[in-house]
Amino acid sequence: DEARRKAANQAWFEYMPVDYPEDEDFRYDASAPFPGDIRIYRDLTFGKHLHVVLTDLRTYRADHVVDEAGFPATVLLDEAALVADFGEVPSWATPYVDIDAYDGGSYGDFLRAHAAVVGYDPAVITGDLDVGAVNSLVEEIGATLPAGDQLAVIDEAAQATMERGVAYATMGKSGLYSSFGSRYLVVKDAFDAYAARRFAATNGASETAMGDVQEPWFIDTMRASDRTWKVWGNEFTLSPLQIDLSLFDLPAPYANRFYLTTDSWDGQPNRRDALLEALADVPNVVAITGDIHSFFAGTPWSRKDPSAKIIELVTSSITTATMQRILEAQAAYNPSLADLPGIAELASSIRDFLLLFDTNPHLADADLVSNGFVTLEVDGAAMTATYHAIPDSEVTVDHGDDDATINGLFSTWRYQIRAGERELYREKSDGSWQRWDPASISWV
């Protein structure tokens, strides 16, 4: 919504206490064409050791790779495409049929005739469609019909003979305009395959983050900086946040590896790889991030080159709901999740799923239940980050001017990055430091 975004830009310019970098006499003009109505990315230097480069990752961003309005059954990659990319049909691919030809077209005719029952446009019910999604619709429609008018689902024996591919449903999408399977809890392997294909087909446009002007400006500014520390003011989480539910006895499609959210850089994995590789020869790069209502620390790297890595420090929110509380609420009230066995336990144990398995070796630490903030200290030798966390149950409690009580509610811990290294250290209780070792997934 361009008009809404421009109104937000005007409000930001008029009420945020910032110096506009382009022109000190600048005044926002709502008639100027978007996105050239305002530029908010910029860089700031502090002394000889700190260069902060602030990017704008929303204004120029492409739409999400998985279309929220996509019909879940629509096949996006057929079996031939998967074999071309992987040399075989991956185990996570799902069976599909030509709905107009299968069983003489009876399934296509049935679904189109009753499309209004399930809220779909009959026009989208055509071509190759995912069998699991088709069966779900057949059952949902059948529940509204007399027994004699119902249609049997396509059985497993028939599915075993079918070609397999990637549909919206393969990525976890179960409904129109659903954020699940498009922005949240997206099946990782299927998404990666589809995203890679789209990235190549569009010459990278499918994962535009900064745009054609800002991205080279960002890379050139980072490379040209003569300050000790090049700090990227990054808008959403760079470190992958994956959970592996294939280890557990869960029904399809939940027995998969998932991205927790693709509203972050997990939704633009190929662009992330390219940026990390572009920064590979730039020393002392640290990304500082917010957005996700959690504390994290890690060493994200390119999937193609693990040596192309930087450090990321992520702060939680000051008062808004933490990530774990958001997940718990979704697990309790989202119709597609609420009846899944063990979903409440999964939501309350999300930190364990992120850290205790080998799914995220780049992720050194996580706190999804605390509010708070992070402070940074820099000099020529090191950058030290102090994390200040308060239980989320306390942020709505009025402690008045009782500073002693408020200070006592906070816990702190520290990380350090040393100049010339690409390693993350955490302070022990005795004042010594341990290095995060992704190979052993431990502090050493």
- Where do runs of H (alpha helix) occur along 334-439? 343-348, 350-355, 403-409
Quick one: which of 265, 305, 298 has its CA closest to 281?
Answer: 305
Could you tell me if 135 and 143 are in contact, meaning their C-beta atoms sit under 8 angstroms apart?
Answer: no
Looking at residue 338, its pLDDT comes to: 66
CATH number of 41-61+208-443: 3.60.21.70
Q: Give the per-residue pLDDT at 339.
A: 67
pLDDT digit string (tens) for 97-137? 999 999 999 999 999 999 999 999 999 999 999 999 999 99
**What are the strands, taking DSSP E only, across 284-345?**
285-289, 295-298, 311-314
Q: Which pLDDT belongs to residue 334?
A: 73
**Closest C-alpha among 299, 308, 238 to residue 426:** 299
Per-residue pLDDT, 175: 86
Q: What is the pTM of this model?
A: 0.94
| DSSP codes of every residue in 111-158 | HHHTHHHHT--GGGS-SEEEHHHHHHHHHHHHTTS-GGG--PPPPHHH
Rg (CA), the chain: 24
Provide the pLDDT for residue 252.
72
210-219: which pairs have CB atoms within 8 A and are 24 or more residues apart?
Answer: 210/41, 210/55, 210/56, 210/57, 210/60, 211/35, 211/59, 211/60, 214/41, 214/55, 214/56, 214/60, 215/275, 217/41, 218/41, 218/53, 218/55, 219/275, 219/278, 219/279
Token couple for 139: 């059952």
Per-residue pLDDT of the chain (444 residues; tens, 9 = 90+): 899 999 999 999 999 888 776 677 888 999 999 999 999 999 999 999 999 999 999 999 999 999 999 999 999 999 999 999 999 999 999 999 999 999 999 999 999 999 999 999 999 999 999 999 999 999 999 999 999 999 999 999 999 999 999 999 999 998 888 888 899 899 999 999 999 999 999 999 999 999 999 999 999 999 999 999 999 999 999 999 999 988 877 777 788 999 999 999 999 999 999 999 999 999 999 999 999 999 999 999 999 999 999 999 999 999 999 999 988 888 777 766 766 767 778 888 899 999 988 999 999 999 999 999 999 999 999 999 999 999 999 999 998 889 999 999 999 999 999 999 999 999 999 999 999 999 999 999
Distance CA 376, CA 313 (A): 10
Q: Which two tokens stand for residue 53?
A: 């480069």
Every domain of the chain with CATH number 3.60.21.70 lies at: 41-61+208-443
